[in-house]
Structure 1
Amino acid sequence: MGLQQSADSGVEPSREDVDQLEGPTVIEFGAPWCGYCMAARPLIDQALAKHSNVRHLRIEDGPGRRLGRSFRVKLWPTLVFLRQGVEVERLVRPSDSSTIEGALARIDGVA
Structure 2
Amino acid sequence: MSTIDLNKDSFQEAIQGDKPLIVDFWAPWCGPCRSFAPVFDAASKEHEDIVFAKVNTEEEQELAAGMGIRSIPTLMVFRERVLLFSQAGALSAGQLNQLLEQVKELDMAQVHAEIAAQNNGGQAPDEA
TM-score normalised by L of structure 2: 0.67
Aligned length, in residue pairs: 105
The equivalent position to 1:97 in structure 2, one of 93, 98, 112, is: 93
Give the number of the structure whose residues are more often helix, by fraction.
2
Which residue of 1 is the match for residue 28 of structure 2? 32
What residue ranges of structure 1 are gaps of 5+ in the alignment?
A: none
Which residue of 2 is the match for residue 6 of structure 1? 4
Q: Does 1:42 align with 2:41?
A: no
Which amino acid in 1 is paired with 2:94? S
Which of the pair has more CA radius of gyration? 2
Change in CA separation of 1:35 and 1:107 when aligned onto 2, cut-off 3 Å: same
Q: Does 1:53 align with 2:34?
A: no
User: What is the alpha-carbon distance in structure 2 between the residues aligned to residue 30 and residue 50 of structure 1?
Assistant: 21
Q: Deviations over 1:53-93 (max 9, x none)?
A: 21111110138622212221111111101111211112321
> Contact 1:13–1:67 (CA<8 Å) still a contact in 2?
no
Q: Deviations over 1:25-74 (max 9, x none)?
A: 01110112211100111222233332112111111013862221222111
What is the aligned-residue RMSD (CA, Å)? Answer: 2.6
User: What is the alpha-carbon distance in structure 2 between the residues aligned to residue 44 and residue 18 of structure 1?
Assistant: 18
Which amino acid in 2 is paired with 1:6? I
TM-score normalised by L of structure 1: 0.76
